[in-house]
Structure 1
Amino acid sequence: MDVTVLLFLTSGLFLGWSLGANDAANIFGTAVGTGMVRFTQAAIVCSIFVILGAVISGAGAAQTLERLGEINALAGSFAAALAAAITVYWMTVAGLPVSTSQAIVGAIIGWNWFTESVTDAAALTKILSTWVLCPLLAGLVAALLFKLVAFVLGRVRLHLLRLDAYTRLALIVAGAFGAYSLGANNIANVMGVFVPVSPFTEFRVQDLFTVTSVEQLFLLGGIAIAVGVFTYSKRVMLTVGAELVPLSPVAAWVVVVAQSIVLFLFASEGLEHLLATSGLPTIPLVPVSSSQAVVGAVLGIGLLRGGRNIHWRVLGHIGIGWVATPIIAALICFVSLFFLQNVFNQKVHTETGYSLSRTVIDHLAAQGIATTPLDDVVGEEFASAVRLRDALRARRAFTEGEQAAVLETARVFRISFAPLRLTAFRANGLSDGQAAAVAALEGRSFRHKWQVAEALAGLSPEWRIVEETKVTKLDNKRIRQRLDLVYRSFHVE
């Protein structure tokens, strides 16, 4: 077992601990803050289910942060995870509910800054917009749900003792499900970057079942999250559950349910498919912050009551934490990368070149992009995305969208379909026709991703991306996901 891998793994464990210490407030904060559930009870339930979620459903919801920046070296992953973990830890010490996703976004931007990689403006804008939309939508859902629950309870008229018992049970059940989802959806953020270098080997238990190396890795990350929940989450729980807005037990349950609804809206591929096939606008599948959803839900109920009980100073401190988190994470990541590369001589990123060869220029022209302003740089190679972007901006002839298209087309990403790689390739999710097309590329090599996509489309119609409409959007998305699998499997440095 490589000691270096274990050392790099510690930042993922620290991030898992920080996530558990902070994000448990999103699950049981309102229940603990209202006194309906004891902290010890909440921590035990949360710890058990977060580990189950991590091991059983470890892949979780797909985190669509790759477009923001692709960290392509183990030391770089270590620095990003460490920066996010330190930032979340500091905010936890301050008692502020912040999002691990916010910290990771900041860390990725810090990595882009250090390595001269371009941050995708469209992806960043979409993520930032959800940071505003998520709490607003959660507040609206919580207000409507609170009114509905109040109406039903007014008609049913349960005895106070029975209502109290039902509410406690509902809070525990909702919290258990939320903890399971936390483990399932966030373990990939915590340990996902370490999967390719997992130091564990799979083993069988009494010939009953096999525990894979990835499951062991996720179990370790889940335990780290659980330790964070049990050892350091109480303060943030009380901030969300009691200090921001005093809540009744029923209102606390509404907050948990409202948070779950909002996260479902932004994460459900089934809902996206239903809306698309119905000809309706789809909701973007962008990972949103559970912290922001909870705070928005609590605030929504507070405003429904007239806003008199809202502690605006606490809300202001939370808002400052949300703004500061990605900035702090980016700075810490940048400094960490500098020391790893220049003091410890670690490889924090793999060099990515960009080529404006005649082949690339012709492909851009075929996409309808006017390439005349590039005539003087045909054949040139650029060491980084930033340098090519600066060259494009200097010509003032390309829109932001066209610049992104040039960067994507010119990026050098060598792919080789060597026989040994084809033998080891696992065509998970590919149809027979798609797998046959991949096999037909044996012995061929490519310099750009788009060349592979064109070659596969020429071999099988199942690889063709058609004109995008609301109906074909999901099919095209699945093809792109499968292309990413091919790119990663046959990429050579």
Structure 2
Amino acid sequence: MSATLLVLVVVVALVMAYVNGFHDASNAVSTTIATRTLRESTALAMAALLNLLGALLGMALLVLTADWAVHLLGMMPLAEATAQDPDLLAMALLAVMGTTVFWDLLTWRLGMPASTWHAFIGATLGVTLVIGAAANWERLGLLLLVSLAGPFLSAGIAFALMHGLLRLGRHELVQRGHLRFAQTLSAGAVATGHGINDSRLPLAVVVVAASSGGIAPSSLTGIMVAVAVAMGAGTLMGGHRIIRTLGRHLTDLSVAQGLAAEVSAATTMSLSLFGISSPISTSHALASSVVGAGAARGLRTVRWKVALQIGVTWLITPLASAVIGAAVIGVIRELMAP
């Protein structure tokens, strides 16, 4: 892989980390802002710091190898097909990341929470097919399974937690101040979990590119720090459109509902630490948890039209990203052709 292409891959990976933090800031702070547990500036600053620390912690626990990165990204067929052409691999990585960034910005503009991971995997599928490699259908099938099961699990947990909080509230065992404090802690857990989970995505891309260029992954400490800083900086900016969708348009959140949703999302996200290889989207986990917490107080409290729009966005994300990724790699190959 040429030095120019390697540098370009690293730069775009950092851009993807920044946009991911910007797009997914809502995952940690939307409920605390909606319930006025924290001021917006305070919530974003807390989320940015914990995203940064979570990213550093998550990456510090990793053993960076090319095999780890390729497996995490679901790029086994693509890596094999480009083994003798590192420059083609770089172009493929640029196409996948460019598509992912585009989809994140598009869904932010529409105010729809969507999964960066799922956009990336969909784009990888489209790029792989255009290059002529065998598609990783097993990975796609697992992704679809998690996409269906994850939201139901999150909604169910939030529904049960909300009923528990309602019972405690009737007996005055929990005061509003207690709930606000607990919601702040749960929001911090979601922010930290997001940093741990999503920092692996841009880092793994850089590891794949560096390994192809003959650079040892163990020498990428500076890149690890840069990825964490980029994600934290993006979170600090805040994706306000998605924050409004989750915190106000989907349902009218109470402090108890916000707490139930955050705890449920943090619980679902933590499953990725116990051997579940397909990523559980933080966007899916939190949005589903908000629906579950709202439904616990009555089905009419949830704005189902908004929930349906979010669900449709989740379903089309992998397919749309695959189509866009296929088009982008075609354009890049034409532009880079001698």
| Corresponding pairs, count | 318
TM-score using structure 1 length: 0.60
- 1:476: which partner in 2? none
- 1:415: which partner in 2? none
2:130 counterpart of 1:85: no
- 1:177: which partner in 2? 189
SS at match of 1:57: helix
Work out whether residues 138 and 258 of structure 1, in 8 Å CA contact, stay in contact via their aligned partners in 2.
yes
Work out whether residues 37 and 184 of structure 2, in 8 Å CA contact, stay in contact via their aligned partners in 1.
no
- 2:333: which partner in 1? 341
CA distance in 1, matches of 2:23, 2:269: 17
SS at match of 1:96: coil
- 1:57: which partner in 2? 58
CA distance in 1, matches of 2:30, 2:332: 38
- 2:305: which partner in 1? 313
CA distance in 2, matches of 1:248, 1:265: 26
Matched to 2:187, the amino acid is G
Which deviates the most, 62-71 or 14-23? 62-71
- 1:230: which partner in 2? 236
In the TM superposition, residue 221 of structure 1 has moved relative to its aligned partner by 1.6
2:211 counterpart of 1:219: no
Cα deviations by residue, 1:348-390 (Å, 9 ceiling, x for unpaired) = xxxxxxxxxxxxxxxxxxxxxxxxxxxxxxxxxxxxxxxxxxx
Aligned partner (choices 133, 142, 158) of residue 126 of structure 1: 142
CA distance in 1, matches of 2:305, 2:323: 27
| Identity rate, percent | 21
- 2:199: which partner in 1? 187
- 2:251: which partner in 1? 245
State the Cα RMSD in Å: 2.6
Work out whether residues 9 and 78 of structure 1, in 8 Å CA contact, stay in contact via their aligned partners in 2.
no
- 1:9: which partner in 2? 10
Work out whether residues 39 and 234 of structure 1, in 8 Å CA contact, stay in contact via their aligned partners in 2.
no
Mark the CA change 1:60 to 1:251 in structure 2 (over 3 Å): closer, same or farther. farther
In the TM superposition, residue 341 of structure 1 has moved relative to its aligned partner by 1.7
CA distance in 1, matches of 2:109, 2:156: 30
2:286 counterpart of 1:294: yes
SS at match of 1:128: helix
Mark the CA change 1:323 to 1:69 in structure 2 (over 3 Å): closer, same or farther. farther
CA distance in 2, matches of 1:31, 1:81: 31
Structure with greater proportional helix content: 2
CA distance in 2, matches of 1:48, 1:244: 27
Work out whether residues 59 and 187 of structure 1, in 8 Å CA contact, stay in contact via their aligned partners in 2.
no
Structure with higher Rg: it is 1
Map of 1:374-385 to 2, 5 A cutoff? none
Cα deviations by residue, 1:150-177 (Å, 9 ceiling, x for unpaired) = 223333445xxxx333333222222222
CA distance in 2, matches of 1:251, 1:60: 33
SS at match of 1:314: helix
In the TM superposition, residue 69 of structure 1 has moved relative to its aligned partner by 4.6
Work out whether residues 267 and 287 of structure 1, in 8 Å CA contact, stay in contact via their aligned partners in 2.
no
In the TM superposition, residue 124 of structure 1 has moved relative to its aligned partner by 1.8
Runs of 4+ displaced beyond 6 Å: 59-63
- 2:321: which partner in 1? 329
Aligned partner (choices 66, 84, 89) of residue 74 of structure 2: 66
Matched to 1:290, the amino acid is T
TM-score using structure 2 length: 0.85
Mark the CA change 1:122 to 1:59 in structure 2 (over 3 Å): closer, same or farther. farther
CA distance in 2, matches of 1:232, 1:334: 30
Matched to 1:197, the amino acid is A
Matched to 2:188, the amino acid is A
Matched to 2:205, the amino acid is V
Mark the CA change 1:130 to 1:59 in structure 2 (over 3 Å): closer, same or farther. farther
Cα deviations by residue, 1:33-76 (Å, 9 ceiling, x for unpaired) = 22221111111111111112222321678874427754452221
